[in-house]
Structure formats: C-alpha cells, structure tokens
Chain A
C-alpha cells in the first residue's frame, strides 16, 4: 500500500483553501506551512500563454532523502497495519517511512530539531518550529502526514475535504481500482528530481501546457547532501551538549544578575 495524492490542475482554481484548512486542522503557525499554493505565470510557453498553480505538499517519496539524514539515535519500532492487523518491526530514527501505508512520519518527542531532514527535502516540505524547542532540541520538525490521524479514523485529509473544486484526490496508489491509480494511468506525474529517482507520491494531472509550465518551473534537484550531513552531525553532536553547558552558564550569569538586581533594589528602597 502506498498512499498518494493527486492534484488535478484542470480543476484547481488556485484558491488556497487547502493551505488554510491545513493550518486550522494542525495549528500550523504563520509563517510556516505544511502545504502551499504558488501561482505560475502568466508566461509565454511553447504551447502559448500559460498560467497555472503549484499546490505542493510532502511527496511521501518511495525513497525519501529526508529519512536517511535523521541523526537521532535509532530505536526499534513496531508498526501495525490498520487494515490487516499485521505487524512489522523496524529500526528507525525520529522520522521514517511507514512500512504499511508508505507515508513519511516524524516522532516529535525524539526529533532534535536540527533541520537536516528539512534541508534534505528537495521540495521544502518540512520546517522546524523553533517555538517547540526544548532541552533536547532546537525545535521540532513538522510536515504533512497525509493527515494520518484523520485517515485512520476514516476521514479525508483536511485539504481534500475542503477543496472547493474537488481537485485533490487521496488514496492508495497500489490499488489499481483507486481513483488515484486511475489518474496515474491517465498520466498524473510526480515532480521527480532532475538528478535522481526518489519517487514522489503526490502527483499532478493537467493539460500539456499547464504541466509543462509546472515541471519547467518546479522540477527540483537533490539537496547538497554534504552540507545536510554536516548540519546533522554538528547539530546532534554538539548542540544538545552545548545547550546544556550554555544553560548552566546562563543560569550562572542570570542568577548572579538576579541576585545583584535584587540586592540593588533592596538598597534603593
């Protein structure tokens, strides 16, 4: 099973309902986003004047480059298929690709907030929320989950439910009878990276002209993994330790200042 989402650009009118519904459902703070709509054009293309939209979200890739970069220590995790009840145990860091539904998920408890996965994502589909920083992290990474908690309850993803043009279709790409699979047969395509093969599962369908414009403007490249890895290593190695040291140091200075302030205050009375 592989969950996927189709975005039908013939239907999409670029209204942004999907992005705002996502904000409300998952309390995604401004200026961050789990999904987005970019307006493309109007511009002259080989097929004439064109304008369309890039409604983007996590692609829950077949080979997600983000997952491998997570530096959090690995733990054994047992996954269970919601339908069959089957289980599978895997060793995962703080982000993984679900062995049953193919979605890419994050464990915020163990996330270090280093941002390596966000840097590794060619689509910019992850962000680190610094407001969630705690003793062990610089914040927490957040991203589209394909609304896994909703889907498990039999609901549609929030963006799909609110789409005013029925331009977003969610389902199992591995099921040949699903609407999403039918779209793939009709020619729906993911924004595959130009320099590799990671298998994006959010896919676009539209006229030749619109698809041409979208793929010309938004075909990404793999991130520079060298810098991603450096960031991951630095962040995970140094930062928690440094933070601890810093916190102690700060407490020292702050404590001293506080005492000094109080005593001065006392003197001024």
Chain B
C-alpha cells in the first residue's frame, strides 16, 4: 500500500517520542521478542497454591490458585483433578471478583435502623457474638428450641445447621436447596428405588439422553457438562422436552415443545405405549420391580392421543420418542433433573421419571442410571439427638403421623412461615439466616418479610450484602470459600467407562482472609458457648474438623497438600445391579398415605386470559442471585431479557430490545425493568427469564436493580402435596411498556 509508505515517512517525526518510552523491557529468552512492562504479566510465573474447592456453585470443582505478592490473581482447575480437570466455568473463573469485591461484608454490623431499612453500625466481634448468643438463648429459655428458625445454604451453613438442629434441638430448618429445588426429586426416587438419584446418569456411554426441562449449557456444572458433551460426541440421541428452545434443545435430535406443567402426562403416555406394545424390559420387570400390574392398570388411560391433546404436542412425536427409547433400552439415560420444584405436582413427575427408567431396565447398566462407587469419608459435626415430634410442625399430633409424608430433611418452608407469622401452634421468635437469601429463593417475598417482622431477633451470616441481610439485626461477615477450610469433595472419574478411580480432596484456603471475616466453626462455637452448649462442641477449629474427617480415610490436610490437593486411589466397577434392588412402580405406602400409588398426572392451573406463565431458569454465568454482584459476570450478562414468542410480540407491538416491566396476576409489579428477547423459540403461553437478577439492596452496587427479580413476581404459592415443597411456575404475568400494561393473549 503506497499510501501507507508515504504516510509512515510523513509521520515518523510525529511519533518519534513513542520510540523513547523509558520503560523497562522484559526480553523473552525463547524468541527475543521484547515484552512491554505495560503488558499484563500473565499468571504462568505466579505461585501455585493447591487445595481450592470452588463454591461459586454447589458442584464444587477442584481448584488451584495463582498467587502473586499475596494476591490471588487467577483460579484454575487443578490439573490433578479427574473430575473437572483444568477446566472451570465462567463463575469459577470469576471467583477472585467475589473474593476482592469491595461490597463484601467486612466487619460485624449492628442494625441501628429498622429491619428492611437498615442503618449499619460497625461493632466488635465480642459485642456481636454476645448479642447473638444472648438473644438466641433468651428465645430458647422463653419459647423453647423450636422458637428458633434457620434458613441455611451452602457448605459453610452445614456446621451451624447441625448445631441448631441437633444440639439446640429445633426442627424449624428450611434449606432452599431442598424445599425450593431438588428435595422433591430425592424423595420421589427414594419412594421408588430407595435412593436419591443425584444426576448419576451414565451420559458418556448412553445411546439416548432424555431430558425434561434440563437445560445443560445454561445450567452448567463442569463434569456434568463433560459427561453430556462426551455422550453427544459418542453419538447419543438427545430428546429434550421444554416449552423453550433451550441450550440443550438446540443440540437435540427431538425437541418436544411441551405445554408447561404437563410433563407427567407426556411420560405416562410414553410408558403406557411401552406397556401396551410390550416394549418394556420384561426380565427387569420380573426381577427388579414390584406393582407392574397395578401400575399398568393405573396409566392405561394415557393414550398417545390423550397426552398429545393435554401436552399440546403431536401424538406421533410421543410415539417416536417412545420407540427411540425402546429401541435403545436399556442403554438410555433418563435425567432425574435438579431444580424440580415447578408446579406443585412435581413428586409425581419425578416418580414418573424413576418408573420410566425402570420399565426400560435402565438401572445399573451402561448408559443408564449408574451410581459411581466413590470413596468413604466420615463427616464430623455436632452429635445427633432425638428431639421427638412434639414441636415438629410437619407432624399431626392427633393422627400421630407426618403431614407431608415425603418431605426432604428439615421442615417445609411454609409450615415454618405460617407458624412464625401467626404464632400458632407456638411462637417462633428468632431467625438465623446463614448463606441463604430467602427473599430471592423462596416464593412470596411479602410473607418472608412478615416472618422477619414477627421476630424478636434476626441474624444473618454471609459474604455479601444480599437482599435478606437488610432484615438482620446483627450481620456477620464470613470467610469465603477461597479463605477457609471445610468441604470434603470426593468422587470418581467422570467417565465410568474409563479406568476406575476415586478421589478425595478437602477445601483449603488459597489466600489469607482480609478484614474481620471469620469461619463458621468459630462463629458457631462462640454462639454455643454463650448458649450453654460448650460441652457439646465437637471441634475447636475448622482445620480440626477437616482433619478429623480426613482421618477416617487415613488422610490428613498435610498428606493432601503433599499430593497436590487431591488423593487418588483405585476405584470399583459401578455396573451390575445389586440383587435386592427394587423399583416400586406402584408404592403401597404412598397409597396408604392418601397419595397415588402409581405415578399420576395432576393438571395445573391454566393461564388466565391476557397473561403468560412465568418460567425461569439458569444463566450459565450466574448461580441464582449469589453471583449478581460479581463485576465480571455482571458484565457478561448484565440483565435477564424476557423471552417472548415472536407472534405474541408482533401482536402487542413489542420488538427485540424493548424495555419492559412486569405485573403478575396478583397485582405485584416488578421494581425494575429488563429487555425483551423476541424469538420463535418459546411457546406463546409463557415467557422466560434467567433467575437471580434485580437485587434490591443498594449495598450490592453492581447487582442492585440490574435486570428483574423473577422471585418477586412469584407470589402465588403452590405446595407439592407429598413433600411440602414449593412449586414456582404457577404465576402469570403481563408486560408493561412505557406504563402501559400489555395483554399477552396468544
């Protein structure tokens, strides 16, 4: 380019100054290329610290830290890991932005304003612990242990949760991970196969993957994604039932654009087709199931045509799916799901998944549901005690039986909330929130606020000023997962067809804590001392807890460090069905308790005219609301656009990128707005958005008001009758543009 040559000559004098920048240069030995001091140095030369276990989500990948001058520069997957390997996801990579988030809680704080409108005053740890200890003790003295309710979440909440449940003796503990997430799955499978299923499907070695709503790719857990991608690469067919063209649907061979809430009808039709056409695994049914006849009888009304009408999908597609499953059985992976608290009929859907796996004979076989044989490591915590059922809210004292017969561990959330708000059957007067943000995880925010307002005392322990922390009287700053010991991560290699190996690792700090952050063992023990439970303290430090636990596997922290943070030992072949394994296609106990003995479809409320059903799901860069203040993750997806069907959008005059708010069928309006994503990839009767946006706490300077908090719009409660868990997809919304409420009639 002649122009350039002329121009360059012309410009030489102008840029002479640039040639004489007085900066030291680093010359690469390999190439002689000089590296500017202005270039970031990269982390290859930084000190590697082993022993990290991620907790940006609960999958908990194994990490190493890259540390420069005492500062954690980068997190990487531990190269020794046979789980996540060197890979970690966006959230894992962004962990250092949680660690050094300037909005993080730094000191114990006392609320000298009102609950919900706090004025924070920094206090000493001694004052904070004295206050928490005396308030909790006075509640126990006055009302009994059951006068305390606890909302815990995450690895750090385990030890305090055990303290309150086992030592103090309250039943009133509600974990969001159970009652607003996976508890239904676990108890439905327990009622069917005697075990919680995890996500233990042998995806790398399967022939067909069957997903109901699972949106892997948007829902990201590293080794689970590895299994999924390997399965697809190995040629597995993928069937995805979802009202939305999800990340998984985009990779699917068959996308079943099902009407929300009707999944059980869909599966009953598949199972009935298999039964009627004798395409089930007769040997497996004979040897490992019970109740086949009653089961067959119970589902026989579910013809392809009936389900097609109910689910709003073609009958021939249901048949195609059933045929594909039958043709590839038993090497088919029926995904049990993870977040399953959808509609208040979810126990039955989970039972249907477990039974479908059964009639296809897909337990303990290659490509089916296969629990890997992992190593044993004993947990160390507060000693268990039987506290009876006298103050168990999930117990009908007159009938001498449970109210929700198949509840996951803890007490169903609304039994606690109703009791706390009404004072009946007894007063609940203190609330401990540890790592959970109930305002953005539990439906009906007003009811949650009513609970807090009914308390004599509220304490929160967290790393970030999440929305719930604004309701605390005392707010305690916790060490993050990068600054403390605790969680024991154990398991096997992720591809069961590879050499059988087991691993054991324990979370260790990668850097020293800053400010006055403390760990859960310190905080809990100090509370215990002030509440008269010194004698029951099981360990004095968090290191001691982990070391004692590791000792049960002949390991120690020291040994683990010497082994680069992960101990690996020979594993066992997981394939082969245990002789006594049984699938209860019909469950007599359920029937005795007044529930259906065979999986049964319970229709959900129809969408009222003018509204759309509000669906929500995972963003690959966020873990619910926990990561919304992370500057890197926020930058990657700053808000949660609402998916709207293109035909509906055209009808109401919305275009891609329009800014909208929401109002739900109970008149609750969103506090904030988001943008519209117009797409043919969603049904007309629903809208969809990522969960976990729109924090209301101004102390979350990045996350506050960013996107819309879907949880705020989930006000109408649905309770799963077997488990007491919430269903959260029975709420209906209209969109608001420029103050005008838009009718979304399809």
Contacts and interface: CB of A to CB of B under 8 A. Distances in A.
A201 interface: no
Interface in B30-52: 30-40, 42-44
Contact of A44 (B1, B633, B680): B680
Interface stretch (A21-29, A215-223, A255-263): A21-29
A200 to B, nearest CB: 20
Given A72-B15, A237-B11, A136 B21 contact: yes
A25 B15 contact: no
B8 interface: yes
B635 A30 contact: yes
A212 B94 CA distance: 32
B88 interface: yes
Nearest to A27: B40
| Best-buried of B16, B18, B249 by chain A (most CB within 10 Å) | B18
| Best-buried of B3, B247, B631 by chain A (most CB within 10 Å) | B247
A164 B250 contact: no
B738 interface: no
Chain B interface helix/strand/loop/mixed: mixed
Given A26-B40, A30-B631, A108-B38, A152 B250 contact: no
Interface in A51-78: 51-52, 68-69, 71-75, 78
Contact of B14 (A52, A74, A241): A241
B688 to A, nearest CB: 11
Contacts of A237: 10-11, 14
Interface string A28-57: 101100000100011110000111100000
A110 B18 contact: yes
A19 B44 CA distance: 18
Contact of B225 (A28, A75, A105, A165): A165
A13 to B, nearest CB: 4
A80 B31 CA distance: 5
Nearest to A134: B21
Category for how many chain A residues contact B: 35 or more
A174 interface: no
Interface string A226-254: 00010011001100110000000000000
Contacts of A140: 38
B716 interface: no
A182 interface: no
B226 interface: yes
Contacts of B10: 237
Interface string B2-18: 01100110111011111
A19 B636 contact: yes
A51 B216 CA distance: 14
A105 B96 contact: no
Contacts of A112: 15, 18
Contacts of A149: 28, 35, 42, 44
Interface string B611-624: 00000000011000
B632 interface: yes
B33 A24 contact: no
B444 interface: no
A73 B681 contact: no
Contact of B19 (A73, A78, A82): A73
Contacts of B77: 161-162
Contacts of B43: 24-25
A97 interface: no
Interface string B73-108: 111110000001011111111101000000000000
B89 A15 contact: yes
A163 interface: yes
B464 interface: no
A11 B229 contact: yes
Interface of B: 1, 3-4, 7-8, 10-12, 14-19, 21, 23, 25, 28, 30-40, 42-44, 73-77, 84, 86-94, 96, 216-218, 220, 222, 225-226, 229, 232-233, 245, 247, 249-251, 255, 620-621, 631-633, 635-637, 679-682
Nearest 9 CB-CB pairs, A to B?
A42-B681, A13-B217, A20-B93, A16-B90, A42-B245, A108-B38, A51-B250, A108-B36, A24-B74
10 contacts: A13-B247, A15-B621, A17-B93, A24-B94, A79-B31, A94-B18, A162-B76, A164-B84, A166-B229, A236-B11
